[in-house]
Amino acid sequence: MEGAYLIGARRVTGGKAFRGLDAATGAELAGDFPVTTAEDLETACRLADAAFDTYRETAPAARAAFLEAIAEALEARREAIVERCMAESGLPAVRLNGELGRTTGQLRMFAQVVREGDWADVVIDKALPQREPLPRPDLRARRIAVGPVAVFGASNFPLAFSVAGGDTASALAAGCPVVVKAHQAHPGTSLLAGEAIQEAVAKCGLPEGVFSLVYGPGNEIGTALVRHPAIRAVGFTGSRGGGTALMAAAAARPEPIPVYAEMSSVNPVILMPGALAANAEGLAKGYVASLSLFAGQFCTNPGMVFALAGSDVDGFEAAAAEAMGNVAPQVMLTSGILSAYEGGSAKLAGAGSVTEVAQGQPSGERTAGARLFATDAASLMADPALSHEVFGPSSLVVRCADMAELTAAIADMEGQLTATIHAVESDHASLAPLMPLLERKAGRILFNGWPTGVEVCRSMVHGGPFPATSDPRTTSVGAMAIERFLRPVCYQAVPDTLLPAPLKEANPLGLPRRAFD
């Protein structure tokens, strides 16, 4: 593999370079990946800006075909992508094949969304020339793309949330050119996905600036990208520290821009007494499987479980401890993530009010072992550090005296991506008062399942109040993600010849419209 970055149609090699690392061994992988120069970053942003007016006005059918061409180009590279990604991420083939399917499915869903045209939100207020005291002019609105978007690759979804992932797909669907800053942990995977997009851009005859891919260690290139005046919005999935740094950089620009950062969530799970009485063991097995899935490296990992003292929480904990004994140690995405996991879980283990319930099978030098902790609600509320996210295969069982204390502990939490409830019918009555609180706290409320496994569909909300995300009005998964990259424009008494196609009287694009007299 020859390392390179992509500036529009150009492939740049040579210069100061770095190498990808094998997540399992730390060994260097093939390919010298050049660090993007300031000049090339400037060119990428200038090309994106130059492509913007053309690309944003492509007909829905053309934009949809482009998204589908990316999906096809990714599939054509499936073997190479999965192989390289296994090495760079330490994730197994089954997961990465599934993730590639999710990535192409996501692109095809957005193709469908673009074709349907609701995103353009065309609204027409007809002229009322006879109205008293003043006539009303013809007024019509549509939504247009916000401008070039910077997307940051995510460590934990090297395909579905990186170069050709959800942020890129939704920004391209909205009509925004994209400049991706590759995650430093998977340069080869990023290049392969980037080449697929570059190929689709050429195949569809789009301006080259629709897509560029840049690399650079540390924050320098990323910060320069967010500060560039051509960039009008940012998509990011990663740590709270990284996300809040981007939020600050974006807010400090002469012209502030929105940052859509998906950051930090412990995803509380509530085990109701009836559910525990019915199936403590099954719940415990499901819990351990969810928290340890792919080393727990999910934004929606169930990091905290609440149950009432006096319910069958003891049986649940015992069964979970037993299940933990079967959890093999796993390679984590990077050595940095591994050491953060070790530090975070050691801090939990060392907290006076926390007991360690169980560990998974012993970890080796470069793998993470699963860990299960327990505490009580009063201790949790007394020590905010206990509810910080520990990214990896660990979780904390919280015993509550009663529903009132459980409710208080939930009320005390920060914003979350998800809130999960396990309940049977006899539990429902006592849950009714809790539902409004969960709505305030989380973007998704789910019953009798586990929060890992985020469906890509029309109604999905992978979002939530800060610090789960930087903007609770949005989602980074599902069809609604396109709305992040659109803004409304109103046209008053504009002659039909000068109206954009979506608003022309004859509706040549056949978009859905709402009209008001």
Per CB under 8 A, contacts with a copy of itself among 45-84 are: 53, 57
**Sequence-separated (6 or more) residues with CB below 8 Å from residue 319:** 280, 281, 283, 284, 285
Of 154, 307, 324, 461, the one binding a copy of itself by CB under 8 A:
461
Q: Check residue 397 for interaction with a copy of itself (CB under 8 A).
A: no
Question: At 361, is the secondary structure helix, strand, or coil?
Answer: coil
262 catalytic? Reply is yes
Give the binding range for a copy of itself (CB under 8 A) out of 9-17, 62-70, 143-151, 213-221.
143-151
Radius of gyration for the chain, computed over Cα atoms and rounded to the nearest angstrom: 25
Q: Which stretch binds a copy of itself (CB under 8 A): 36-44, 83-91, 137-145, 272-280?
A: 137-145
Binders of a copy of itself: how many residues, by CB under 8 A? Answer: 73
299 is a catalytic site residue: yes
Q: Identify which range of 353-361, 375-383, 391-399, 486-494 contacts a copy of itself by CB under 8 A.
A: 486-494
Chosen residue from 444, 452, 476, 482 binding a copy of itself by CB under 8 A:
444
Residue with Cβ nearer a copy of itself (402 or 455): 455
Instruction: Pick between residue 102 and residue 399 the one whose CB is nearest to a copy of itself.
Output: 102
Binding flag, residue 453, a copy of itself (CB under 8 A): yes
Using CB under 8 A as the binding rule, whether residue 487 contacts a copy of itself is answered as: yes
CB of 417 to a copy of itself, least distance (A): 10
DSSP for 231-273, written as a single string: --EEEEES-HHHHHHHHHHHHTSSS---EEEE-----EEEE-H
One-letter amino acid of 496: D
Give the 3-state secondary structure of residue 141. strand
Measured between alpha carbons, how far is 491 from 125 in angstroms, rounded to an integer? 10
End-to-end CA distance of the chain: 62
Contacts to a copy of itself from residues 424-443, by CB under 8 A: 425, 428, 431-432, 435-436, 439-440, 442-443
Q: Which two tokens stand for residue 490?
A: 């109103």
Scan residues 408-427 and list those touching a copy of itself (CB under 8 A). 414-415, 423, 425
Would you count residue 489 as binding a copy of itself (CB under 8 A)?
yes
- The interface region with a copy of itself, picked from 278-286, 318-326, 372-380, 468-476 by CB under 8 A, is 468-476
Q: What DSSP character marks residue 217?
A: S
- Contact set for a copy of itself, span 244-303 (CB under 8 A): 247-248, 251, 255-256, 258
**Pick the catalytic residue: 299, 389, 400, 405?**
299
Count the residues in the chain.
Answer: 517
Number of other CB atoms surrounding residue 234 within 10 Å: 26
Q: Which of 88, 99, 262, 405 is catalytic?
A: 262
Which residue in the set 463, 482, 502, 511 belongs to the binding site for a copy of itself (CB under 8 A)?
463
CB of 127 to a copy of itself, least distance (A): 11
- Measured from the CB of residue 34, what is the shortest distance to a copy of itself in angstroms? 33
Long-range contacts of 307-310 (CB under 8 A, 24+ apart): 307/270, 307/271, 307/273, 307/276, 307/397, 307/398, 307/399, 307/400, 308/273, 308/399, 308/400, 308/401, 308/402, 308/403, 308/406, 309/376, 309/399, 309/400, 309/401, 310/273
CA distance 162 to 151: 8
Task: Give start and end residues of each alpha helix (H) in 78-185.
Answer: 78-89, 93-116, 166-174
Choosing from 12, 29, 48, 146, the residue that interacts with a copy of itself (CB under 8 A) is: 146
Task: Report the amino acid identity of residue 108.
Answer: R
Binding positions for a copy of itself, 228-247, rule CB under 8 A: 247
Which residue in the set 19, 242, 465, 507 belongs to the binding site for a copy of itself (CB under 8 A)? Answer: 465
User: What is the token pair recorded at 471?
Assistant: 């903007």
User: So which residues are the catalytic ones?
Assistant: 262, 299
